Structure 1
Amino acid sequence: MQAVLLAAGEGTRIRPLSASLPKPMLPVADRPLVAHAADAAVDAGAEELVVVVGYEAEEVRGYFGEEYRGVTVTYAVQSEQAGTADAVRAAREHLDGEFAVLNGDNLYDPAAVADLFDSGPSVGAVRVADPSNYGVLSAEDGTVTDIVEKPADPPTDLANAGAYVFPAEAREWLEVPASERGEHEITDVVARAVAEYDVGYAAMDRWLDVGRPWELLEANEWKLGELARDVRGEVHEDADLRGPVVIEEGATVDAGVVIEGPALVRSGASVGPNSYVRGATLVGEDAHVGHGVEIKNSVVGKGSHVAHLSYVGDSVLGRNVNFGAGTNVANLRHDGDSVRLTVKGERVSTGRRKFGVVVGDDAKTAINTSLNAGVTLSSRATTTPGEVVTRDR
């Protein structure tokens, strides 16, 4: 079976992290987000990956190349991001026979993807507390009877998880009208499949739609939590590695460092001396965590430096960020409420009592900068020495 991976979108809700990198290529543990969907498809038996690209397409092409894990990779271009049905339509000329579709910005339960691939026409589904923001499925005796997009009064708690197997005929059903939000929705294609076929559903025990910065943090918490201890890099005899810690070949850990897993230090990165890394932390390729630094439950992007006497908690740092000495991140509201973050111009709740900052690529802080919880620094933003930053920059 062919598997279509939708990886054309920019991800405006996750800016500034997607300012120069497509959302599906943001790091989740040891690979980009979209690679987790690709792995689920390959493990489920996909014989070809058809990757739909658009925004910053060369980043995706550069990662997958012409073959991924022994499976041929073909590319389709969605020149304008006009919805999921439009994205699959861009891949139509490459499709021959029954085909699967996976969202490149979702994390899936791999076992459920395997069940999906074995079930004929089917939809991945997950039970959620508030399904009104999703496509909602109705089902009877394991067969989907209806799908409604973002209903005000959801008929069930069974949400569409953005994973599908379509019959071969569906490649001719992709010219669907635009929805009220101006997009061509794949749910219209699912509705036709439901009308003409017995469409089953594969229940997912775990699933995550990664659309906003705190969800990228949650994605890393999930995948870092699956790590097994593996130390291949250079670790000083006076360092202390506790639990499931991965030190990739080419990484270095200096004296006096304590790392409490789950944690991943990627190739080319360095940690220490005398630093403390804990709580589902990713230290990206060629990043540096220096003397007297504490990193807790965070993503430190490729090439970024937190070099001296700083604290970073529950935060996401993009690529090539530089934190000056004494930069400290606040990650807790003392009133007990959830930290709020700006998403597309609106302050919204992260749902997390502890959340720090989001920092775009190439941003730099000066010495003794304090960053308040919920602050976003845009790409290439800067601060001044001793500054207390309480608003987005």
Structure 2
Amino acid sequence: MQAVILAAGRGTRMGPLTETTPKPMLPVADAPLVEHVADAAVEAGADELVVTVGYGADRLREHLGDAHRGVPIRYAVQESQRGTADALAAAADHVDGAFAVLNGDSLYRGADLARLFESPPRIGAFRVDDPSQYGVLTVDGDAVTEVREKPSDPATDLVNAGAYSFSAETVDLLDVSESERGERELTDVLARVMAREELGYAVLEEWMDVGRPWELLEANERRLPGSDSGTRGGDDGGHVRPDPTIRGDVHSNATIRGDVVVEEGATVGPGVVVEGPALLRSGCSVGPNAYVRGATLIGEGARVGHAVEIKNSVLMADATVGHLSYVGDSLLGPSVNLGAGTNVANLRHDGEPVAATVKGERVSTGRRKFGAVLGPGVKTGIQSGINAGVTLSAGARTEPGEIVRRDR
């Protein structure tokens, strides 16, 4: 079965991280988000991938190439981002037979998608505690009878996971009208499918929509690589025992504990403590005397310097936290540079969840601990302090000694 991956959108809810990077190319552990989707599709049995591209199309083409894990890839271009049905329509000429559709910004599991691919048409469903914030499925036995967007009285706890399998004839149903949002929606296509044939569903064991910065943080928490070998180093003076996950240059006086991967080309200096789960990508450097803990990704070419503590965060390619700083539960975009003594707060003392800005509105992250979102090229002056939930746009600057309490 072919699998169409919708990866054309810019991802405005993820701003400012998407100001220079298309959302499907944001890092989740050792690969961009879209590659995790492609992995799941191939594991489920897809024999061809059709990737719909738009914003940042060249980046996706360059990364994915002509094949993924031996499965050929074709590309379709959505000229302007006018909704999910429009994105699928852009790929229609490449579809031949029954096909699946997957969002390029969600996490799926291959075994789940294998069940979805059986006996199309089917929709991927996921059980949530509060379905009122999603498209909710009404079902009758094994069939879906309705999909309602954000109902106040949800009929079930099953929500639309943005994964579908369709019969070949569905391509004739894609020319739907624009919704109130001014987009052509796949949910309207589903209504046409249900009017013509029975729409089944497959309940997914794992699904995550990665649409906002704190969800990218959670995606990394879920996908950071583990290790079966348990704790390495520690009481014997910190010397790292031989392990295939430690391929970089780790100083004999560094301590590695838990599930940690140090890629070839990464450097860990003296006095460093890394407590997993953590992934140190090729070309990055950590230390001397730095502390990395929690679910942390140190990206390619990133630098963590002397007496720096990084906790449960994502540092993207070439980000630098050079001296005497603390970064917790935060996302640092490419080429961010924090001046010496910069500290990022990540906790509200009243115990309430931290709020962050999404498309101009303050929204609860649902997380008791959440730090800052720093866009590409942000630079801070020495001794800067950044409040929990603050977003700094691409290229933003802070003055030495400044306390930043609001977005900029």
State if a TM-score over 0.5 links the two structures.
Answer: yes
In 1: Cα distance, 2:377 partner to 2:129 partner? 38
SS in structure 2 at match of 1:155:
coil
From the superposition, tell whether residues 361 and 161 of structure 1 become closer, same or farther in structure 2 (CA, over 3 Å): same
In 2: Cα distance, 1:228 partner to 1:20 partner? 37
Partner of 2:62: 62
2:214 maps to a residue whose letter is W
Q: CA deviation at 1:133?
A: 2.5
Partner of 2:246: 231
Q: Decide whether the 8 Å contact of 1:298 with 1:313 is kept in 2.
A: yes
CA deviations on 1:151-204 (whole Å, 9 max, x unpaired) are 333221110000000000001110011112111111122222223223221111
Moved over 3 A (4+): 225-229
Gaps of 5+ in 2: 230-244
Q: Decide whether the 8 Å contact of 1:213 with 1:358 is kept in 2.
A: yes
The 5 Å alignment of 1:32-111 reads 32-111=32-111
SS in structure 2 at match of 1:35:
helix
Q: Decide whether the 8 Å contact of 2:226 with 2:260 is kept in 1.
A: no
SS in structure 2 at match of 1:231:
coil
Q: Decide whether the 8 Å contact of 1:315 with 1:358 is kept in 2.
A: yes
From the superposition, tell whether residues 305 and 69 of structure 1 become closer, same or farther in structure 2 (CA, over 3 Å): same
Partner of 2:3: 3
SS in structure 1 at match of 2:39:
helix
The 5 Å alignment of 1:1-393 reads 1-224=1-224, 226=226, 230-393=245-408
CA deviations on 1:87-118 (whole Å, 9 max, x unpaired) are 00000000000000000011113321121123
2:338 maps to a residue whose letter is F
In 1: Cα distance, 2:128 partner to 2:83 partner? 23
2:179 maps to a residue whose letter is S
In 2: Cα distance, 1:301 partner to 1:347 partner? 24
From the superposition, tell whether residues 117 and 227 of structure 1 become closer, same or farther in structure 2 (CA, over 3 Å): farther
In 2: Cα distance, 1:328 partner to 1:147 partner? 45
Q: CA deviation at 1:343?
A: 1.0
**% same residue:** 64
Partner of 2:239: none
In 2: Cα distance, 1:271 partner to 1:291 partner? 8
In 2: Cα distance, 1:140 partner to 1:241 partner? 53
Query: RMSD value over aligned CA atoms?
Result: 1.2
In 2: Cα distance, 1:14 partner to 1:226 partner? 27
Q: Decide whether the 8 Å contact of 1:359 with 1:377 is kept in 2.
A: yes
Q: Decide whether the 8 Å contact of 2:225 with 2:279 is kept in 1.
A: no
Q: Decide whether the 8 Å contact of 1:225 with 1:280 is kept in 2.
A: no
TM-score, normalised by the number of residues in structure 2: 0.94
In 2: Cα distance, 1:53 partner to 1:44 partner? 22
Q: CA deviation at 1:227?
A: 5.6
TM-score, normalised by the number of residues in structure 1: 0.97
In 2: Cα distance, 1:106 partner to 1:2 partner? 18
Gaps of 5+ in 1: none
Aligned residues: 393
**Which stretch of the first structure deviates more once superposed, 302-311 or 181-190?**
181-190
In 2: Cα distance, 1:320 partner to 1:7 partner? 24
In 2: Cα distance, 1:378 partner to 1:138 partner? 41
1:120 maps to a residue whose letter is P
1:255 maps to a residue whose letter is P
CA deviations on 1:334-390 (whole Å, 9 max, x unpaired) are 011111111111111111111100000011011111111111111111111111111
